[in-house]
Structure 1
Amino acid sequence: MASPNKLKIFNDPIYGFIPIPSPLIFDLIDHPYFQRLRRISQMGLSYLVYPGAHHTRFHHALGSMYLMQRAVQVLQFKGVAITDREREGLFVAILLHDIGHGPFSHAMEHSLAKGVDHEYISLQFMKALNEQFKGKLSLAIAIFTGKHPKKFLNQLVSSQLDMDRLDYLKRDSFYTGVAEGNTNAERLITMLNVVDGHLVVEEKGIYSVEKFLLARRFMYWQVYLHKTGVAAEQLLINILKRARELMQEGGSLSVNGALRFFLENQVNRSNFDAKTLQVFSELDDIDILSALKQWRHHPDRVLSRLCGMVIDRNLQHIKLRKEPMARDKFQKKFDAVRKKYQLSTNETSYFVFRGKVSNRAYDKDRQNINILKKNGNIRDVAKLSDNLVLTALAETVTKYYVCYPKDSI
């Protein structure tokens, strides 16, 4: 029997044709761990705000790999030494950088496994795959964990101007229709270079960097941290919390094996072993949506009401402000809902709650974006730019929210 052609091409709506660069990449894409990403939404519940945002982590991973291919081509053309092994290591690292995301991506990051982020789970998947592929992912793991001696390789995968960010801003802007988030990824990549082993941007690309950072700010406050999306994700978190509470009290709950495992067990880093990883690999958005459809008919009025609110998009009212709501005012709102629906204090906390969200578009203290001037000097983009907005973008912005049922206003 003839061996299958592994150098195939994907047709992407953002970049056009994306080639698979090697048989190893083909086999990784074909693996069930990676195919699961087809069933993990890229933007959680953001489709409840932006109807077109139904793209997946699978799309994003392929797009990031394509941009990495372009970056390698540009750097090699400029004389930067990248071996064939390093090249493939970069492709594997960026392809698998988000493989550890759980259902609805960031929305449930710590709901299933406490204190276990998707980067940690991605690394566990990569280690498991490295065993299956007899050590072929060792270089990619070194790059992914930032341990490779060539720092610019690490920065291409994880930094303030990596291929991950370049793709998700452009892709999420496309699928949401938010034009302010669109960036010229190709232009930015063309301006990349390496000096003293570190990634830099040539001076003529400074305005593209400015636009990139502004686009990042727009996307976070207009899309990723949109108040309606925040309310929906908090409801989803509360649903899992309530389901776990009912199960611990001995209540009956219809739920599949993989999801049941994470509801019945307190999973954290200390016990996230190979068995847990395998169970995690069987979880995706479909499991959560299926559970919500079943639980909306559960006799527990809190769980059923929460599920119905998400499924029917009957979301809570949310107020987002620069200062937190006064304690007495919040308590008044809390008591009003508790009395109106005759709920206990614990039950009311699922419907009336507050919190905060924050974002810093440019973290100048962590792998800052360096600009290579024509005279050979290197300066941080915020110091070199004549755009005063960049100084503001380096500051953390925090906003406080309070959520409560609409019919209690």
Structure 2
Amino acid sequence: MSEINKLKILNDPIYGFISITNPLVYDLIQHPYFQRLRRISQMGLSYLVYPGAHHTRFHHALGCMHIMQRTVQVLKFKGIEISQEEETALDIAILLHDIGHGPFSHAMERSIVENVHHESISLLFMDRLNEEFGGKLDLAIKIFRGEYDRKFMLQLISSQLDMDRMDYLKRDSFYSGVAEGNINSERLIQMFNVHNDTLVIEEKGIYSVEKFLVARRLMYWQCYLHKTSVAAELILTKILKRAKELTQKGEHLGASTPLQFFLENKISLEDFNDDVLRKFSYLDDFDIMCAIKSWQFHNDHVLSELSRMIINRDLLKIKMRAEKVDKAQVEVLREQLITKLGITDKEAEYFVFKGKIKNQAYNKTGEPIHILKKDKTIEDVVEASDQLNLKALSKPVTKYYLCFPKVLLEEAAI
């Protein structure tokens, strides 16, 4: 019997052909842990706003690996020594950087598991895969953890201008149809260099960086933090919270085996042993949507009503404003809802609530985007740019929201 050809070419709508040139990378892509990403939405419930946004974490991870390969080629062409082992490790690290995402990406982190960040779960998956593959992921994990002595390699994976951000902006812009988010990733890749073990952009690429930062800001307000997307994700979080609350009171809601496990148990990072990780690996968007389709007919008013909102795209009304929402206004709306529907105060909290969202396209206090000037000095992009708006982009912008059912629209008087 002949061995499977592990050198593959995949067709991607963003970059054209993506090559898998390493048998180890092929085996990792074929692993059930990674194949699960085909069933995890890249943009959560954003398809309720942008119908085309149905692409997955699987697409994104392969795209990140492709632009990592392109970047490594450019750096080697410019005389930066990168061994074959390092090259493979970079491919693996960026390929697996999002493997720990739960269903609908971020909703799980605030509801079913107890504040466990997806990056922590990604590392657990990487460690488990490393055991299965006999230590072949050692260097990739070392780079991912920031423990490798070549600092620029971590910057390629996690920084303010990394492969992750470059792919998701271009990809999410394409699938959502939000043209303002499109970036010239090929130009940015060509401008990468390494100076004193620091990832830099050559000075002639500064305008591409400016475009990248502006595109990031616009994508957040227009896409990721679009008010309807925000409302949908908040509702989903509350559905899972309510389901967990009812389950732990002894009610059987009906859910897939892995989802039932996470509803029944309080899971923190310390609880993620091999068995819990295996159960998490069986969990994806389909488990959640199948459960919600069933829960819309449950006799618990909160669970059924919130589930119907997602299924029928008849969401809570969300109002955005620049000032904080008055707590008294929330209380008044809750009282009105209690009177209208005859529900309890605790149940009303699921339908009327406030909060805030923040957008910061560039964080000056974090690891800066370094511009390599012609005299070989390095400058922060904000200082190197002649665009005053970049200084504005480095300031966080906060918006406050108020959510409530549409039946209260007249009473809300906002």
- TM bucket by the smaller chain? over 0.9
Distance 2:283 2:170 in 1: 27
Distance 1:278 1:214 in 2: 40
Distance 1:217 1:313 in 2: 26
Shift of residue 108 of structure 1? 2.4
Distance 1:85 1:195 in 2: 21
| AA of the residue aligned to 1:268 | S
Distance 1:383 1:66 in 2: 31
Q: Is the 8 A contact 2:369 2:381 kept in 1?
A: yes
Match of 1:388 in 2: 388
Deviates more, 1:45-54 or 1:315-324: 315-324
Distance 2:328 2:395 in 1: 30
Superposed CA offset, 1:138-170 (max 9, x none): 000011111111011111011111000000000
Superposed CA offset, 1:15-57 (max 9, x none): 0000002000000000000000000000000000000000000
Match of 2:83 in 1: 83
Deviates more, 1:241-250 or 1:285-294: 241-250
For the residue of structure 2 that corresponds to 1:188, the secondary structure is helix
Match of 1:343 in 2: 343
Moved over 3 A (4+): none
Shift of residue 278 of structure 1? 0.5
Matches within 5 A, 1:319-338: 319-338=319-338
For the residue of structure 2 that corresponds to 1:358, the secondary structure is strand
Q: Identity rate of aligned residues, in percent?
A: 61
Superposed CA offset, 1:284-340 (max 9, x none): 000000000111111111111110010000001000111122122222112111111
Shift of residue 257 of structure 1? 1.0
In structure 1, stretches of 5+ residues that fail to align are none
Superposed CA offset, 1:366-400 (max 9, x none): 11001000111110000111111111111111111
Shift of residue 245 of structure 1? 1.2
For the residue of structure 2 that corresponds to 1:231, the secondary structure is helix
Match of 1:53 in 2: 53
User: Taking structure 2 as the reference length, what is the TM-score of the superposition?
Assistant: 0.98
Matches within 5 A, 1:262-301: 262-301=262-301
Distance 2:226 2:107 in 1: 13
Q: Is the 8 A contact 1:60 1:171 kept in 2?
A: yes
| AA of the residue aligned to 1:187 | R
Matches within 5 A, 1:1-400: 1-400=1-400
Q: Is the 8 A contact 1:322 1:398 kept in 2?
A: yes
Deviates more, 1:44-53 or 1:329-338: 329-338
For the residue of structure 2 that corresponds to 1:407, the secondary structure is helix
Q: Is the 8 A contact 2:112 2:244 kept in 1?
A: no
Distance 1:195 1:301 in 2: 60
Superposed CA offset, 1:236-295 (max 9, x none): 011011111111222231111100111111000121111110000000000000000111
Distance 1:256 1:181 in 2: 37
Distance 1:231 1:64 in 2: 29
Superposed CA offset, 1:103-133 (max 9, x none): 0002322322112110000000000000000
Superposed CA offset, 1:47-89 (max 9, x none): 0000000000000000000000000000000000100000000
For the residue of structure 2 that corresponds to 1:315, the secondary structure is coil
User: Taking structure 1 as the reference length, what is the TM-score of the superposition?
Assistant: 0.99
| AA of the residue aligned to 2:376 | G
Q: Is the 8 A contact 2:112 2:241 kept in 1?
A: no
Q: Is the 8 A contact 1:45 1:107 kept in 2?
A: no
Distance 1:41 1:271 in 2: 25
Q: Is the 8 A contact 1:372 1:378 kept in 2?
A: yes
| AA of the residue aligned to 2:23 | P
Distance 1:142 1:401 in 2: 41
Deviates more, 1:327-336 or 1:200-209: 327-336
Superposed CA offset, 1:156-195 (max 9, x none): 0111110000000000000000010000001001000000
Distance 2:166 2:129 in 1: 26
| AA of the residue aligned to 2:48 | L
Distance 1:216 1:142 in 2: 29
| AA of the residue aligned to 2:199 | L
Match of 2:402 in 1: 402
| AA of the residue aligned to 2:24 | L
| AA of the residue aligned to 1:14 | I
Distance 2:204 2:324 in 1: 43
**How many residues are treated as equivalent by the alignment?**
409
